[in-house]
Amino acid sequence: QVQLVESGGGKVQPGGSLRLSCSTSGFILDDHAISWFRQAPGKEREQVLCINGGSVNTIYYYADSVKGRFSISRDNPKKMVYLQMNNLRPEDTAVYYCATAAGLRFCGGTQYEYDYWGQGTQVTVSL
């Protein structure tokens, strides 16, 4: 079955960096777009970044606040997707999720179109 498992979260001071990993199984990662979402306490879940499937891995930023600080990458042979987060801010504190959908090759759509989610990994940015 399809599984996505996030790891790499933790507590970091403002200005620090973390790299989140999304380990995937049960589907052909090469053919699927993968998004990272986050949900802060008391707030709605928001889409952060997405990377297309296929040969041209176009990246889309959905949260303006992370531009220039976050990046997404994929290693298809290893079935992994990564979220590199630099210059972290307290407002980046959230549970981070990776997600995809059956047959989703290109980024787009809302979170409600994503079928498969990981369990999330907590990122806390504070002194």
pLDDT of residue 15: 98
pLDDT of residue 48: 97
Rg, Å, the chain Cα set: 14
**What is the distance between the alpha carbons of residues 32 and 108, in angstroms, rounded to a whole number?**
12
pLDDT of residue 39: 98
Q: What stretches in the chain show pLDDT beneath 70?
A: none
pLDDT digits (tens, 9 = 90+) for 79-111: 999 999 999 999 999 999 999 999 999 998 789
DSSP labels for 92-103? G-EEEEEEE-TT
- Give the E-state strand segments of the chain in sequence order: 3-7, 10-12, 18-25, 34-39, 46-51, 59-61, 70-75, 80-85, 94-100, 116-117, 121-125
pLDDT of residue 33: 96
- Which residues partner with 10 through β-bridges? 123
